[in-house]
A and B are shown apart, each in its own frame.
Chain A
Amino acid sequence: MYKYIWLVPLLPLIGAAINGLLGRAFRFSEQLIGGIAVGSIALAFLIALAAVYSYGSSTLWPKPYVTSSQDGSFNFNWIPGGPVRLTQGEKAARPAEQGGPARPAAGSVLNIDWSYQLDSLSAVFMLIVTGVGLCIFVFATGYMHGDPGFYRFFAYMGLFMFMMLVLVMGSNFLMMFVGWEGVGLCSYLLIGYYFDRPEAANASRKAFITNRVGDFGFALAVFGVIATFGTAQYTDVVAQASSYPIEPLWHFGIMSWIGLGLFIGACGKSAQLPLHVWLPDAMAGPTPVSALIHAATMVTAGLYMLTRTNVIFQHSQTMLFVVAIVGAATALFAATIGITQNDIKKVLAYSTVSQLGFMFLACGVGAFAIAIFHVMTHAFFKALMFLGAGSVIHGMHHEQDMRRMGGLKKYMPYTYLTFMAGWLAICGVFPFSGFWSKDEILWRTVSTNHIPYGFLFWAVGTVAATCTAFYMTRLMAMTFWGKPKFLVQPAGGEADEAHASAYDKGLKKHDAKKFSAGDRPRHEPGEHVGPVRESANAHAKGGGAHGHGAHAPHESPANMWVPLVALAVLAVVGGLVGIGPAFTGHGHPGGRVNIVNWLDPIIWNSETRGFGTENTAEAAETHENVGRAEGGRITGKSVEETPAGYVATGFNLAHSIEQTLHSERATEWIFILLSLLAAGIGMGLGWLFYIKDTSLPDVWATRLRPLYQASYHKYWVDEFYGWAITRRTMDLARGVFTFDSKVVDGGVNGSAWLTRLSSRVTGWTDQYFVDGLVNTIAGFVVTLVSPILRAAQTGLAQNYALVMVLGLLIAAAVLFWKSAF
């Protein structure tokens, strides 16, 4: 069955092609478009499910399966390559007799196949992308109902699914690059879906341009990979890279440079700190897009890449350290911004950035499998919350400002209950999915042997987790609990989705039966238009005749809340596939079903210089390192050891406690309780501020005014970029323009002036000197010769005749003279 995985990307592409190419021309109905889109994704999901199941249960399992047309699957020679000259690799790599693999010789031929690779990592991502994608597609059929660009939306979404699947299923770096750029394109198209709204168009450009910075680094890294290894195929690259020497902290070898390029790419795509600015703005797109692209799938592509190339990253302690710093900084930074934002989608966007920071932190401390675990749980609960936010926005008639919500649990029960599951999951409450992944990230951070100062990273992460719990509780309180504030302050505010656009176009007709078609104009934030008095039912009966914002919120239709329920179930139980060793005593339970064990074969082990459990198990006998064999977890005597080739990591909080208590499990429980405590503090503070005493936020905002302002204005990063980059670019452009108009044009004009001057001189010379000379000489000659010539011209015909006769006589004389003698 796993031979058919090439169908998984193909089906969404076919669906997108049908919708995009024919949808408009043949005026497909919404049912047909939605059916094609959802059907193609559902089929892809089923195939992916079957493929992963058959792959996981086959003997092939730990080894990657690369599709090939020779065994009945699919591939083709995409780029028939030319010879590649290896540069750095020959020098830096260990020679073959010392255990290095047989590398392709210098001048090897680089042939890039279009083939898909199925291994543990791509299996997880396939299932996330198609599974969560399916839920979001179903949701979107409800959410986008009535939108004139329905076919276009689903064409873009289908194209996105194709590109994302190419990204995570490709068997080489170039396919990843194609998918990488493809999802960037689709992200651009979908953020700018309401292209007639300037903020959406600007946001799409911002996202695209910011991603360009990252893509530049990624492209350089791909070139580096090809130049170093002579191939772009993951299996070959990974096999070769594992024989390279490890570069300790502050050593910059080829692995560090490749890793840096890859990490810059990951920063761009996954919105990490220097390049995070595009993600919050990307919320200008439709909410299903935010859920699919900017929460669940595309932004995790950076994590996919880091995990895919974990061999390279683990060879460079510097890059691990950098990744951890950026991840931890982003987690805290975005979490603090999330506290003060009022737009429901903005809060979720910063939450996404923060959670992505957690995942990067996990990668930085060497816990790649845990990062992917968190990618999965995050995909569940964040997609759920984005869709829930979409449902709220839909129900509130395109109101996104949380200050005008409140008390929605009465109006939207399904949305409320499902959102609550997501809230508990992201806060890290025990047994919800977020708990398992986030807790393990924090534990692996504090106990890391890969980088120094793990306890500092842990502290930052824990504070960020507390902030996360706080702002998520705030979001719940402002949206679903408390008093329904839309009764007093109902106007559209920052509502800016489809129907505002429809209103702008003059489509004011309101379809009261469907609660969807737009009648809501946009207002400036805070503009008071009038309270809501009319109930939804009365509104429906009244045929939709009412003023602005005049009816109450309503629950979304079934095709919107059913996906919510599905995702809520996953958000609740999804973490159970990754139960950590603290609960069972040793290792991750569940065998291959446990995602950490499942991912283990693709994670390089810097201790044993091999991959995953099997290799580790062999190595364990010699290293007396049984603990590592359990899914790479550090136990027993080995806790003090730093992996070979790494700089010693110094003080390690977890290990110190462990030595005091003589129990690793107890230590881990301490940190589990600490992270639960952090979540509890965050949630408690949220409850205190937004339920118990709602005057507290204002009080504390005044007391901590500088901090509040900094957070509210997102630390002025956009302003800084505007000043430091945009304005400087404008200055540069202006300078170049000045240079052009003054120097270049001046040069051109000066040369023209010079030409005119010289031509005037030449003209004078010509007129007075050359012409004068010519006239003088010619005149002299003429006066000399003309009397003679004039005399010949008598005008008398007889003279001419005489000359003719004389000539004749001369001719005759010559003739007869010769014959005479």
Chain B
Amino acid sequence: MFGIFAPALFLLFQQAERTRLGEMWENIQHPNLSRFLFIGALLFIIGVAGVLTRRNIIVIFMSIELIMNAANLNFIAFSRYLQSTGSANALAGQVFAVFIIVVAAAEAAIGLGIVIALYRNKETILLDEIDLLKW
């Protein structure tokens, strides 16, 4: 697990070491797009890893939430970036983020319903014991 995150943490620390406090504030005021994208990608990867490796459906759901939030972060970042360039469609990204939150909520509701139904039938929520898609 650590082996995966190690290069990312190394880059983060390296950046922090290089920067002074003022520059940090400046970066907060005028964020650098690539850093947000980097964090979004990090979140996405964590989510994907969670989906692929965990057995419990609940945890997989949580990982999926991570993936969607990674996408949200990207939307927000691009929206902010476009605002600084003066584009007229800059707010669209934020609207999409709201949509995704709504969809995620609905998906969670349905997904959890499915999980309960599965549990009632199969008496398990461990994904590797459920191979119904084969049929």
Contacts and interface: CB of A to CB of B under 8 A. Distances in A.
Contacts of A805: 48, 52
A793 B52 CA distance: 17
B6 interface: no
Interface in A206-223: none
Contacts of B48: 805
Contacts of B135: 795
A796 B52 contact: no
Interface in A783-798: 793-798
Interface stretch (B9-17, B32-40, B124-132): B124-132
A801 B51 contact: yes
A798 B51 contact: yes
A794 B127 CA distance: 12
Contacts, number: 28
B52 A801 contact: yes
A802 interface: yes
B52 A795 contact: no
Contacts of B52: 798, 801-802, 805
Contacts of A800: 133
A801 B133 CA distance: 12
B128 A798 contact: yes
Interface SS, B side: helix
B132 A795 contact: yes
24 contacts: A793-B134, A794-B131, A795-B130, A795-B131, A795-B132, A795-B133, A795-B134, A795-B135, A796-B127, A796-B128, A796-B130, A796-B133, A797-B127, A797-B130, A797-B133, A798-B51, A798-B52, A798-B60, A798-B127, A798-B128, A800-B133, A801-B51, A802-B52, A805-B52
Interface residues on B, range: 10 to 19
Interface string B65-86: 0000000000000000000000
Interface in A777-821: 793-798, 800-802, 805
Nearest to B135: A795
Interface in A522-560: none
Interface residues of A, number: 10
B86 to A, nearest CB: 27
A802 B131 CA distance: 15
Contacts of A795: 130-135
Contacts of A802: 52
Contacts of B130: 795-797
Interface in A755-797: 793-797
A383 B32 CA distance: 132
Nearest to B57: A797
Nearest to A806: B52
A170 B6 CA distance: 124
Interface in B109-135: 127-128, 130-135
A602 B119 CA distance: 123
Contacts of B132: 795
Contacts of B60: 798
B66 to A, nearest CB: 14
Interface string B30-65: 000000000000000000100110000000100000
Nearest to B55: A798
B115 to A, nearest CB: 12
A114 B52 CA distance: 104
B131 A796 contact: yes
B112 to A, nearest CB: 16
A814 to B, nearest CB: 18
A798 to B, nearest CB: 6
B14 to A, nearest CB: 21
A794 B128 CA distance: 10
